[in-house]
Amino acid sequence: MIRVMLADDEAMVRAGVRAILGTDDEIEVVAEAADGIEAVEAVRRHRPDVAVLDIRMPRMDGLAAGAEIRRTVPETAVVILTTFSEDAYIARALGDGASGFLLKSGDPRELISGLKAVAEGAAYLSPKVAQRVIAELSAGAGGGAMARAAAAKEQVAVLTPRELEVLGLVGAGLSNAEIAGRLYLVEGTVKAYVSAVLLRLGVKNRVQAAIVAYEAGLVTG
Confidence at residue 82, expressed as pLDDT on a 0 to 100 scale: 78
Q: How high is the mean pLDDT of the chain?
A: 83
pLDDT at 161: 93
The most confident of the ranges 50-54, 145-149, 150-154 is: 50-54
- Report the alpha-carbon distance of residue 184 to residue 138 in Å, rounded: 34
Give CA 88 to chain center in angstroms: 16
pLDDT(107) > 90: no
Q: Are 27 and 112 in contact (CB under 8 A)?
A: yes
Q: Read off the pLDDT of residues 155-211 as tens digits, 9 standing for 90 and up.
A: 899 999 999 999 999 888 777 888 899 999 998 899 899 989 999 998 877 777 888
Return the pLDDT at 155: 87
Q: pLDDT grade, residue 33 (50/70/90)?
A: very high
* Contact assessment for residue 47 and residue 74, using Cβ atoms and an 8 Å cutoff: no
The type of residue at 122 is A
pLDDT-wise least confident of 27-31, 33-37, 97-101, 107-111:
97-101
d(CA 64, CA 69): 9
Of residues 219 and 72, more confidence is placed in 72
pLDDT value for 171: 83
